[in-house]
Chain A
Amino acid sequence: AQKVTQAQTEISVVEKEDVTLDCVYETRDTTYYLFWYKQPPSGELVFLIRRNSFDEQNEISGRYSWNFQKSTSSFNFTITASQVVDSAVYFCALSEAGFQKLVFGTGTRLLVSP
Chain B
Amino acid sequence: GAGVSQSPSNKVTEKGKDVELRCDPISGHTALYWYRQSLGQGLEFLIYFQGNSAPDKSGLPSDRFSAERTGGSVSTLTIQRTQQEDSAVYLCASSLEGFYGYTFGSGTRLTVV
Contacts and interface: CB of A to CB of B under 8 A. Distances in A.
Given A43-B89, A45-B91, A101-B56, A106 B42 contact: yes
Nearest to B104: A45
B59 A44 contact: no
Interface of A: 33, 35, 37, 42-47, 50, 91, 93, 95, 99-107
A99 B56 contact: yes
Interface of B: 31, 33, 35, 42-43, 45, 48, 50, 55-56, 59, 89, 91, 93, 99-107
B48 A44 contact: no
B99 A33 contact: yes
Contact of A47 (B50, B56, B103): B103
B48 A101 contact: yes
Contacts of B35: 102
A103 B45 contact: yes
Contacts of B33: 100-101
Interface of B is mostly: strand
Contacts of A102: 35, 43, 45, 102
A88 B43 CA distance: 15
A44 B107 contact: yes
Nearest to A93: B43
A100 B35 CA distance: 12
28 contacts: A33-B99, A35-B101, A37-B104, A42-B106, A43-B106, A43-B107, A44-B104, A44-B107, A45-B102, A45-B104, A47-B103, A47-B104, A50-B100, A50-B101, A93-B43, A100-B31, A100-B48, A100-B55, A100-B56, A100-B99, A101-B33, A101-B48, A101-B59, A102-B35, A102-B43, A102-B45, A102-B102, A104-B43
Contacts of B55: 100
Nearest to A91: B43
A107 B35 CA distance: 15
Contact of B42 (A44, A47, A107): A107
A99 B31 CA distance: 12
A99 B45 CA distance: 12
